[in-house]
Amino acid sequence: SPISIQLYKSGRVERFNEQFNVFYVPPSPEDPATGVSSNDITILSHFSARLYLPQNTNIITVNEKLPILVFYHGGGLIVGSAFLNKMHRFLNHLVSESNVNGVSVEYRLAPENDLTTLYQDCWTALQWVASHSENDNFTNTSKDSWLTSYADLNRV
């Protein structure tokens, strides 16, 4: 179905496409279908991400860390969310089947924000992931234990 939005003079935006407005789901310690664990984190005060960890992390040693998949949801930059049920299920299966760590970015949307802001959120998220390496130049946020413990920062 087509994406419909209403822009009000006050600046408020209303999205009418049902698939993009409902069915937000919380993270899960273990997805029953895939065994993938998920956790929501705040990257900076204005945006966040959902992290995904495949089931077999208990056998990973320092030399066996998994690659990282940084995922930006679709929706033409005006709809969608990293926290939608459809996106959550997709990432659970993708992470499980690919045996990678997942970072699904919840960036700000247009038209409430200009395109530069959206791109900056996505770039900052990628910098945040890279900051978990030993050569950290991104000190605005703390490191996430899932990424430092299980992610191979040479394979992003």
Question: Rounded CA gap, 2 and 132, in Å?
Answer: 40
Is pLDDT of 97 > 60? Answer: yes
Is pLDDT of 63 > 70? Answer: no
pTM: 0.84
Q: What is the largest CA-CA distance in the chain?
A: 56
Residue 1: its pLDDT value, please? Answer: 55
Cis preceding linkage at 111, omega within 30: yes
Band (5; pLDDT cuts 50, 70, 90): confident
CATH of domain 23-150: 3.40.50.1820
Band (61; pLDDT cuts 50, 70, 90): low
Torsion of Cα atoms, 132 then 99 then 106 then 151, to 10°: -10
Comparing 142 with 154, the larger pLDDT belongs to: 154
Count of alpha carbons within 13 angstroms of residue 25, beta-carbon side: 15
Band (19; pLDDT cuts 50, 70, 90): low
Is pLDDT of 80 > 90? Answer: no
Residue 143: its pLDDT value, please? Answer: 83
Torsion of Cα atoms, 18 then 19 then 20 then 26, to 10°: 110
Question: Rounded CA gap, 86 and 18, in Å?
Answer: 12
Region 105-122: mean pLDDT is 93
Is pLDDT of 74 > 90? Answer: no
